[in-house]
Amino acid sequence: MRMERRLAEAPIGIITVRDGTVRAWNESAADVLGADTAVGEPVTDVFPRSVERSLPRAFDGTTVSDAAFEEYYPSIDRWLSVSVVPGDDETTVYVTDVTEEKDNERTIDRLRAEAERAETVDTLIADVLEGLVGATSQDAIMGTIRDRLGGSDQYRFAWTGEYVADSDELAVGGVAGERGELFPAVREAVEEGLATPERRAVEQRRPTLIRSLSENASVPEAVRAAGFADGVQSVFALPLVYDASVYGVVGVYAGTEAAFSDHVQSSFEVLGELAGYAINATRNRQLLFADTVTEVSFGLAGNSPLVRVSSTCDAELTLDGIVAPDDVGLTCFLTVSGADPESVLGSVEALPAARDGRLIRRSDAERGRIQATLSETVPLVAAINHGATIRTAVFDGDDSRLVVELPPEANVRRLANLLGDDGPAPVLARRDRTRSPTTKQEFRTDLNERLTDRQATVLRTAYLADYFTSPRGSTAEEVATSLGITGSTLLYHLRASQRKLLDAFYDEHDDGSG
């Protein structure tokens, strides 16, 4: 039976059916359904099978049902829009391929869901960061992160672990959320030292994302099985790192593979950086305000570049002072004894870990002061990043030693491992001592609160570079160059910091007599 010309040339698929059998169809219908011929075939056989089977239901019974539906047909990988319109003698079926429209709808829905999820996560992380402000210890910081993330409806659970550097172990700190079968499996794998996502994140010092937990062969088998049983799809392991120190890790587990978009990952990475900074700051704050401190003297070996320089030049280098480490490195001011300072400076400048060396002052042929900036691979920087305060450091071959102050609860062995060469650095002496508040300490604290970080850096650098001595050991241009600023900017910061220094001094010592 031939179809009318206007129907045969229609841009949509048209099929005429009588008694459940196809009587005619146009080329558009053939293209959509991917069939060569259908005339004389049952209409329910012409259409591929769909999950909902709406078309067979419309033709099931003594009468044909009026129906309109959109369904996915797996065998042809298409979404079809179908309308069944019964007539007196014949039924007309209209069919259109709406796959592209459906794909666009799914893309829009996915992007909308990702945007909503990202907004929710950003709000969640903002809450976490707000909680970090009042946290006074590493346990409190990690507990805040764990409780906020694990208690969110975005994730199944979150757990935190502390990294124990001296034993290279992860110690599980706690968990928040739905533990199910998965968290016990994760905890057991961590305790056995297996390659969990969290372990890899700590070892590589960068986040680890697993999108399909139960199918990822890099995950321990017991963890994969438990994840499948609990319906957990993905995990994001976030290390808490500050400079050379890894403090711990956060494992966040979600029920969908799409839980960690690129935006969400970036937000978590910022969280990890700020948490690492906060942990380091709390350790330094504990040391600053502690009544009791632990003073430890370590022996330094050849892994310290300054030890190697002292041995090569047969010189003693004494640390006069440092400018706190930044993105460039740790700026050190050293007194040279027993060798030509300029020759020693040449050896320092030849170190891969050193840069921006210069001679500040030559007192005589075998004594003077030099300046150099050292990278984070140097033991001095490792000690500071671990929360230590450097009291003294002497680099003199085999007699080299570093004396630091630590909070009483600090892990001395962990720091010894960071400072050592083939093994832990030897502890030459250790004692706990009580610090009583002094006017000098209060003065320094008050001054630090008044100065900006930049002003404090400029003032300390100029002081250690003998800018204030007569004759000057450094010109304004030399100090400015070492700081990477112009001479006018240096003088501006010096004037501002000197004014604040005098304000702090007179505020402290003004007796009101005029």
Give the model's pLDDT for residue 435.
61
What is the full DSSP assignment across 218-254? Answer: TS-HHHHHHHHHHT--EEEEEEEEETTEEEEEEEEEE
Residue 227 structure tokens: 């994840």
As beta bridge partners, residue 159 has 175, 251
Residue 164 structure tokens: 């124990």
Give the range among 43-47, 343-347, 447-451 with minimum mean pLDDT: 447-451
| Mean pLDDT, residues 222-239 taken together | 94
Q: Is 256 helix (H, G, I), strand (E, B) or coil?
A: coil
Distance in angstroms (rounded) separating the CA atoms of residues 274 and 387: 16
Tell me the percentage of the chain whose pLDDT exceeds 90. Answer: 33
The pLDDT confidence band at residue 293, using thresholds 50, 70 and 90, is confident
**Which of 317-326, 382-391, 460-469, 503-512 has the largest mean confidence?**
460-469
Give the model's pLDDT for residue 439.
53
The pLDDT confidence band at residue 284, using thresholds 50, 70 and 90, is low
Q: Are strands 316-323 and 245-254 parallel, antiparallel or unpaired?
A: unpaired
Give the range among 52-66, 372-386, 490-504 with minimum mean pLDDT: 372-386
Contacts of 218 (CB under 8 A, 6+ apart): 195, 200, 210
Quick: pLDDT tens for 311-354. Answer: 999 999 999 888 865 666 788 999 999 999 999 999 999 998 88
Give the model's pLDDT for residue 286.
59
Distance in angstroms (rounded) separating the CA atoms of residues 389 and 404: 5
Contacts of 164 (CB under 8 A, 6+ apart): 170, 171, 411, 414
Q: Is 64 or 110 the better-scoring residue by pLDDT?
A: 64
Q: Which amino acid is at 474?
A: S
The closest of 196, 428, 185 to 301, measured between CA atoms, is 428
Distance in angstroms (rounded) separating the CA atoms of residues 306 and 323: 17
Strands annotated E in 255-351:
292-299, 316-323, 330-337
| Mean pLDDT, residues 193-216 taken together | 91
The pLDDT confidence band at residue 285, using thresholds 50, 70 and 90, is low
Check whether 113 has a pLDDT greater than 60: yes
Give the range among 23-37, 124-138, 178-192, 441-455 with minimum mean pLDDT: 124-138
Residue 392 structure tokens: 């003294």
Q: Is 229 or 138 the better-scoring residue by pLDDT?
A: 229
Which helix (H) or strand (E) segment holds residue 367: the answer is strand 367-374
Distance in angstroms (rounded) separating the CA atoms of residues 170 and 173: 9
What is the full DSSP assignment across 89-141? Answer: S-EEEEEEE-HHHHHHHHHHHHHHHHHHHHHHHHHHHHHHHHHHHT--SHHHH
Cis ω on the peptide bond leading into residue 471 (within 30° of 0)?
A: yes
The full set of domains in the chain, from first to last, is 5-97 (3.30.450.20), 110-287 (3.30.450.40), 291-436 (no CATH), 437-514 (1.10.10)
Distance in angstroms (rounded) separating the CA atoms of residues 499 and 422: 49
Q: In what order do the strands lie in the sheet with 245-254?
A: 169-177, 157-164, 245-254, 234-242, 208-210
Instruction: Please say whether the dihedral angle defined by the alpha carbons of residues 3, 7, 12 and 17, taken in this order, is positive or negative.
Output: negative
Q: Which amino acid is at 344?
A: V
Check whether 399 has a pLDDT greater than 60: yes
Q: Three-state SS across 272-283?
A: HHHHHHHHHHHH
Which helix (H) or strand (E) segment holds residue 24: the answer is strand 21-25
Residue 71 structure tokens: 């369904």
Distance in angstroms (rounded) separating the CA atoms of residues 358 and 377: 21
Check whether 218 has a pLDDT greater than 70: yes
| Mean pLDDT, residues 506-511 taken together | 49
Give the model's pLDDT for residue 203.
87
Q: Are strands 208-210 and 316-323 parallel, antiparallel or unpaired?
A: unpaired
- Torsion (CA) 38, 39, 43, 46 in degrees, nearest 10: -10
Distance in angstroms (rounded) separating the CA atoms of residues 305 and 295: 23
What does pLDDT average to over the chain?
Answer: 84
Distance in angstroms (rounded) separating the CA atoms of residues 148 and 126: 10
| Mean pLDDT, residues 228-241 taken together | 93
Contacts of 404 (CB under 8 A, 6+ apart): 295, 296, 298, 383, 388, 389, 390, 391, 415
The closest of 448, 461, 468 to 320, measured between CA atoms, is 461
Check whether 5 has a pLDDT greater than 50: yes
Residue 288 structure tokens: 């600053």
